[in-house]
Amino acid sequence: MTGVEGRVVVITGAGQGIGRGMALHLGRNGAVVVVVDWKSHRVERTVADLEAVGATSLGLTCDITDHRSILDMVTATTDGFGRLDALINNAHTFTAKSSLADIEDSDIDTNHATVKGTLWAMQAVHPHMKDAGWGRIVNFASAAGITGMAEYGAYNAAKEAIRALTRTAAREWGRDGIVVNAIAPGAASKRGQEAAQRNEAEFREFMRDHPMGRQGDPETDIGPVALFLCSDACRFLTGQTFMVDGGAFLWA
């Protein structure tokens, strides 16, 4: 098996946007998808979408800023399926844009709640993956953190912290059979679309120089990369950040 057929894949933030797109792509390709979101109506909607395409799924509400909620989510997954093969840490908390000079403690605390949630989820799945001798973890980074995008200091710091956790886990858990990577996406998520509508001129300028001239599609552009990173085929790539953004940020 080189795909994800029969693999149990947990996706946080799967109620909408990129998370939902990945859930649908993996579900269409045979994965058992655990749909995790903090809003129950979003969970129910994605589960219904998966049922419509014949995919097996489980819907769970979970607050990634609450350690106990994450532990309960992982327990419900392993109790329900007897295994947990892959974790996609897609959910993220947000604050409003702010210049670096004006960032407040609450901005840091809100964004870094995702860092803690990512770590807690990784810790929670680690014993199950180690016992199986096989596991895949996909974290979510951002080009904004890598480039230091202005007015996103708190968000940037959180996303770079998640990349640091990704690299550290790759080093510490590789011999447990666990592969850990990150995706920095460029896709038409709900939040991204809302931001584009608020700043139409800025968005048009950004897209003018975009190599592909479009945003990515959560299901058909981000989904296949997530599938690869959760599969047997991804066996000798770990600790890496994949810029799945259509070339929007190219490096020398």
pLDDT in tens, 46-96: 999 999 999 999 999 999 999 999 999 999 999 999 999 999 999 999 899
Model-level pTM? Answer: 0.94
CATH number of this structure's domain 8-244: 3.40.50.720
Which residue from 91, 90, 80 is spatially nearest to 8, judged by alpha carbons?
A: 80
Extended strands (E) in the chain = 8-12, 32-37, 57-61, 86-89, 135-140, 178-185, 241-244
State the chain's mean pLDDT as an integer.
Answer: 94
41 close to 59: Cβ distance less than 8 angstroms: no
In this predicted model, what pLDDT tens digit does every residue of 8-43 receive, in sequence order? Answer: 999 999 999 999 999 999 999 999 999 999 999 999
Give percent above pLDDT 90 in the chain. 85
Residues 150-155: contacts with CB under 8 Å, at least 24 apart: 150/99, 151/97, 151/98, 151/99, 152/97, 153/98, 153/99, 153/100, 153/103, 154/95, 154/98, 154/103, 154/107, 154/108, 154/110, 154/111, 154/112, 155/94, 155/95, 155/111
CB-based burial, 126-136: b 16+ in 10 Å, e otherwise: bebbeeeebbb
Query: Which tokens in the block code for residue 143?
Result: 């080009």
**Local structure of residue 174 (DSSP, 8 states):** G
Residues recognised as catalytic: 155
Any idea where the domains of the chain sit in the sequence?
Answer: 8-244
